[in-house]
Amino acid sequence: MYHEITPEGFGIAIEKDKDLFSGKSEFQTVDVFHSRAFGNVLTLDGLMMVTERDEFFYHEMISHIPMLTHKNPENILIVGGGDGGTVRELLKHKCVKHIDMVEIDGMVIDASKKFFPTVAGELDNPKVSVLVQDAIDFIKGKENLYDIALIDSTDPIGPGEGLFNTEFYGNLKRAMKKGGIVVPQTEGPFAQSENMRKTYALLRKVFKYVAPYTGPMPTYPGGYWSWGFCSDDVEPPFNNSCVDSARADEIAKTCKIYNKELHSAVFAVPNFVKELANG
Amino acid sequence: MYHEITPEGFGIAIEKDKDLFSGKSEFQTVDVFHSRAFGNVLTLDGLMMVTERDEFFYHEMISHIPMLTHKNPENILIVGGGDGGTVRELLKHKCVKHIDMVEIDGMVIDASKKFFPTVAGELDNPKVSVLVQDAIDFIKGKENLYDIALIDSTDPIGPGEGLFNTEFYGNLKRAMKKGGIVVPQTEGPFAQSENMRKTYALLRKVFKYVAPYTGPMPTYPGGYWSWGFCSDDVEPPFNNSCVDSARADEIAKTCKIYNKELHSAVFAVPNFVKELANG
């Protein structure tokens, strides 16, 4: 049985059929196993990252909400995202010209290509540059390059830690074009409420508009996840009127989750989530 | 460690500090234990029913969505709900005159009163009749009595099984007043998709309007739960305009989840949930 148990003493359990891979990279331990419930499962330092059966929840949410709020997103940055699921979702948008995916750990990319073909299948697309390096260094000095940046990282412990500070976000802001939208994953509101609170305190220091949106994510702690819509120029899409209806319908056809009604609805969050995000 | 593992081979794990109660009623095994993560936890036949820390997700959702869609809900039926959390939420509404709570298993009520005072604390309220009997018998021959009926039952296996058929729902419909709204819990869309599909096929046979709404529920399978808004006279509140704003704001002040923006947003469900509910 695989377990991920939070410091508070609860979490998920998955019956493991078979270990498929275990490796130690420069940064973390990478494991892949097969389960009847979720197909192949990737963990980093024992923490759940991606399963074949439920990855669509996370990847659709981090991608399509900002992509369909932006008028014409052409150049995209992904920080992390080595499993390739975010790239796959982004490439559904015909307007995309180029994606820079900056993943610190090449072993994650290799394991995903081998064991998660339905997730990593677009990593070799000619529109994508896969850059195996630290995003903290990559982003320094970059200016006016990206329409959308997605921080598809691990928790603020381990390799992801340096991404959760104002220096990184300040550099990231300079790398954005006017009208740019930044969306980091912002942890589980129920299971990791203190991580979430700290992350939003940071985001509010950096961006004019900061709004959490949430959705289910069965294999992450608490089964409930959040992302932060951040921009200096673009208001969060609280009202569907800002969404290009034809583009949204076209994307929805390819999705298990995303549809036009959900686009604004995901920003209607529980009172306790508002409180965590607004400080 | 407590586990609830679905037949597919995944589920939740909770570190158990101490067993507090174990009893066999006529219907099921009732257990209560304490955990650091969730405080006291009640299980029936080993399946998760209620925890002190996350019960608000479920009880707010099953109660306030129909209550604030109905213009003036005075008389309410709860089928099941022995832990008392639904009663507690309903009594926040000043318009409520009387609640019949029909719970088959007295041991659930007794265990809740003893170990879940913050959940069961309103079961002795003079507006509430606690009826320990089978709701299938109770509802037969009743006519024109209730504004709202909430089916706060276990899964469609065990004692809850007889509630998932057209005979029960046909009798329930006759017990409703004009303008009545019925809301059953309708299982986990991700972890129990076949249960959910069958439940909606049944509900669509009985009611003119049937619409799923969903929300997080950390300790239930998949962390993601659904309820069905059912009525012959009242359209689902897809548009917030049908909600009494002052009443909704008053209730929201007392809630960890419910607010006016969420009222309609919870009806914007993922594509795969639409598909399960619409057949």
Determine the pLDDT at residue A166.
87
| CB atoms near residue A126 (< 10 Å) | 6
| CB atoms near residue B239 (< 10 Å) | 11
**B2-51, CATH topology level:** Spermidine Synthase; Chain: A, domain 2 (2.30.140)
> What is residue A218's three-state secondary structure?
coil
pLDDT at A45 over 80: yes
Residues in chain B: 279
pTM equals: 0.96
Look up tokens 């005159």; give the residue.
Answer: B97
Structural domain boundaries in chain A:
2-51, 55-278
How many helices (H) and strands (E) chain A has is answered by 10, 13
Cα separation, B179 vs B177, in Å, equals: 6
What value does the mean pLDDT of chain A take?
Answer: 95
Give the DSSP H or E segment for A137: helix A135-139
Selected residue with higher pLDDT from A153 and A108: A108
Using CA coordinates, name the residue in chain B closest to A218. Answer: B222
CATH architecture of B55-278: 3-Layer(aba) Sandwich (3.40)
Using CA coordinates, name the residue in chain A closest to B223. Answer: A223
Catalytic residue among B31, B105, B152, B155: B152
Would residue B17 show up in a list of annotated catalytic residues for this protein?
no
Cα separation, A178 vs B173, in Å, equals: 56
Q: How many CB pairs under 8 A join A and B?
A: 128
To 10 degrees, the CA torsion angle through A14, A19, A25, A29?
30
Determine the pLDDT at residue A147.
98
**For residue A157, what are the contacts with CB-CB under 8 A and spacing of at least 6?**
none
**For residue B65, what are the contacts with CB-CB under 8 A and spacing of at least 6?**
B183, B213, B227, B229, B237, B263, B266
- Any CB–CB contact under 8 A between A10 and chain B? yes
> What is residue A12's three-state secondary structure?
strand
Predicted ipTM?
A: 0.96
Per-residue pLDDT tens digits for A232-265: 999 999 877 667 889 999 999 999 999 999 999 9
Cα separation, A29 vs A47, in Å, equals: 10
Using CA coordinates, name the residue in chain B closest to A53. Answer: B190
**Contact status, residue B227 vs residue B200, Cβ threshold 8 Å:** no
DSSP string, chain B: -EEEE-TTSEEEEE---EEEEEEE-SS-EEEEEEETTTEEEEEETTEEEEETTTHHHHHHHHHHHHHHHSSS--EEEEEE-TTSHHHHHHTTSTT--EEEEEES-HHHHHHHHHH-HHHHTTTT-TTEEEEES-HHHHHTT--S-EEEEEEE---SSGGGGGGSSHHHHHHHHHHEEEEEEEEEB---TTTTHHHHHHHHHHHHHH-SEEEEEEEE-TTSGGGEEEEEEEESSS----SGGGS-HHHHHHHHTT-SS--HHHHHHTT---HHHHHHHH-
CA of A218 vs chain B CAs: smallest distance (Å): 5
Per-residue pLDDT tens digits for A143-187: 999 999 999 988 766 666 777 788 999 999 999 999 999 999 999
Instruction: Report the candidate in B241, B229, B223, B221 with the shortest Cα–Cα distance to residue B67.
Output: B229
Determine the pLDDT at residue B253.
97
Low-confidence ranges of chain B (pLDDT < 50): none
Determine the pLDDT at residue A242.
64
Lookup: tokens for B160: 């809850």
CA of B271 vs chain A CAs: smallest distance (Å): 5
**Contact status, residue A12 vs residue B191, Cβ threshold 8 Å:** no
Cα separation, B48 vs B51, in Å, equals: 8
Catalytic residue among A83, A100, A147, A152: A152
Cα separation, B104 vs B159, in Å, equals: 8
Per-residue pLDDT tens digits for A71-84: 999 999 999 999 99
- Cross-chain residue pair B15–A10, CB shorter than 8 Å: yes
- Any CB–CB contact under 8 A between B36 and chain A? yes
- Any CB–CB contact under 8 A between A191 and chain B? yes
Residues of B in contact with A219 (CB under 8 A): 10
